[in-house]
Amino acid sequence: MGIVNVTPDSFSDGGQWFERDVAIAHGRHLLAQGADILDIGGESTRPGAARVSEREELDRVLPVVAALAGHAPVISVDTMRAEVARRAVAAGASIINDVSGGKADPDIARAAVESGARLVVSHWRGHSDVMASLTRYGDVVRDVRDELAEQVNAALAAGVRPEQIIIDPGLGFAKDAEANWALLANLEQLQELGYPVLVGASRKRFLGELLAQYGTESLPTFRDRATAAISALVARAGAWGVRVHDVPSSVDAVRVAEAVNAADVARRQQHQEAPQ
């Protein structure tokens, strides 16, 4: 899943793709590099970010979705608003990627029901301006799994079909570095919920904190190799998808993971077929 931020203030590439024509060209470039999905968003969720108006978000997102819908196999709209989701799906999106997991606007589940679009339900505790104060957990893996289950159940109660749902642990959202690493190390506990898992670790602060310990430049754009390492690890663990800024490095990482998984399967089959 390649990221197209049509925003002036995203933490990693704020403003770089803000102009409409530039965002459209960037989306096409990500597709040429191997992205299967384009995730188009018009509101930054970086720590401390203020919300934009619904009108502003619509003006940013809809023209880009409409322009890229004929080129991309799958378009995802990154929004927490039901009206933006509805209109983006009408313009050609088929996935609603809600980082609030239905909590910011409970009507977003109805948008998925009405349109038939898939719905990414992310673990979330609060908006960007308060999430840093919401990082206390008992057992973070258990707590995130249980809270995600509650969010999924709310979507199901609203009429979303199980096959529409994708879950996301929400790395970086009300989570410190230790919590993010714990979730990545225990992805199988989230998979036990029975839904495809999307992982969005790309260029996030916890990667910069890790690299800084080794004297490596920790600016967001220098974190793509670390992001690709996570892409390989979670692909090996069976994640459904990875949401990334730099597509080629993660495409290669996923291919490596697939080759290792294929070799593992072949070896197991060979042992099963061998005469006893």
Annotated catalytic residues are 204, 243
Give Cβ neighbours of residue 152 (< 8 Å, ≥ 6 apart). Answer: 121, 165, 167, 193, 195
Of 263, 261, 225, 259, the closest CA to residue 244 belongs to 225
Work out whether strand 37-41 and strand 2-5 pair parallel, antiparallel, or are unpaired: parallel
Of 205, 211, 218, 219, the closest CA to residue 175 belongs to 205
Q: Which long-range contacts (CB under 8 A, 24 or more apart) does 211-216 make?
A: none
Question: What is the C-alpha to C-alpha distance for residues 264 and 243, in angstroms, rounded to an integer?
Answer: 25
Q: What is the DSSP letter of 40?
A: E
As given in the structure block, the two tokens for residue 198 are: 């999307």
N-to-C CA span, the chain: 45
